[in-house]
Amino acid sequence: MVLSVSAPELLLRADSLDVRYGASRALFDVSLDIPVGQVVALLGPNGAGKSTFARALSGLVPLTSGSIQFNGRDISKMPAHRRQNAGLTYIPEGRGIFPGLSVIDNLKMAARRAGSHSERDAAVERAITLFPILGSRSRQQAGSLSGGEQQMLSLGRALAVEPKLLIADEMSLGLAPIVVETVFQSLEQVRDAGISVLLIEQFVHRALGLASQCVILSRGRVGWSGPAADAGAEVLDRYLGEATSAAASG
């Protein structure tokens, strides 16, 4: 008897996305699937279109053509705030926190969408449970946290309202290698909590170790896609360049 293995359930399907900025075309027919509860690494050199793709998924830039299905719904023309309410959360470069507010006030602001007072309290507690250091720093001004702690707060804000998909755009940017490890440990906790992740990352080999699937963009097009374990040195050198792939492994 032959046992069939079903494919993972899809949370998001981006089909043939094109994006233009005026006369300049930034994405060319880009397609990508994100299964439920899995991490997909989106890699590529600077200017490849990674952040444009993330912003298109999030509703921050309009599509020229193509479609986006999320959790069984067509969200191609849905405003960004409604996509966030539906469970698609984007953490852009720059950490997405309010540096002048305390840690707890940052979390409370993020939890405002959770509903009732008790639901908002539960959302804050959920973030602190996932990242206990946020509880011990609750009255500290967010801008005075270390880089790694700020990224934990950014993740805590995103996870307070239980997203289905987290788009993490260059969370390790500008951080020391030892702090980068803390960020990736936090992302592992997110994955282990059953949340899907689209990971845009400069630390290529660390990203591939976390992801199950990989898509590499090159000049706004999909250059390669497949299981993360199959993205070997030859693939990385071809699409990222030898210097880029070597530096990103550190």
Tokens 């706004």 map to which residue?
220
Structure-token pair, residue 189: 């906790």
Q: Which two tokens stand for residue 1?
A: 């008897």
| Domains by residue range for the chain, with CATH | 9-87+165-174+195-250 (3.40.50.300), 94-162 (no CATH)
Q: CA–CA separation, 172 vs 151, rounded Å?
A: 8
CA distance 250 to 246: 7
Least confident among 58-67, 91-100, 152-161, 181-190: 91-100
What pLDDT score does 186 carry?
Answer: 84
Residue-wise pLDDT tens digits, 91-143? 887 667 899 999 999 999 988 877 788 888 998 998 898 888 899 999 999 99
Sign of the CA dihedral running 225, 230, 231, 234? negative
Q: Is the pLDDT of residue 248 over 70?
A: no
Rounded to whole angstroms, the Cα distance separating 94 from 166 reads 16
Amino acid at 183: V
For the chain, strand residue ranges (E) read: 10-21, 24-35, 39-43, 65-70, 73-74, 88-91, 165-169, 196-200, 213-218, 221-227
Burial of 32 (0-12, 13-18, 19+ CB in 10 A): buried
Please report where in the chains the tokens 């689209």 appear, as a residue: 198
SS3 142: helix
Is residue 151 very low, low, confident or very high in pLDDT (cuts 50, 70, 90)? Answer: confident
Res 246: pLDDT: 42
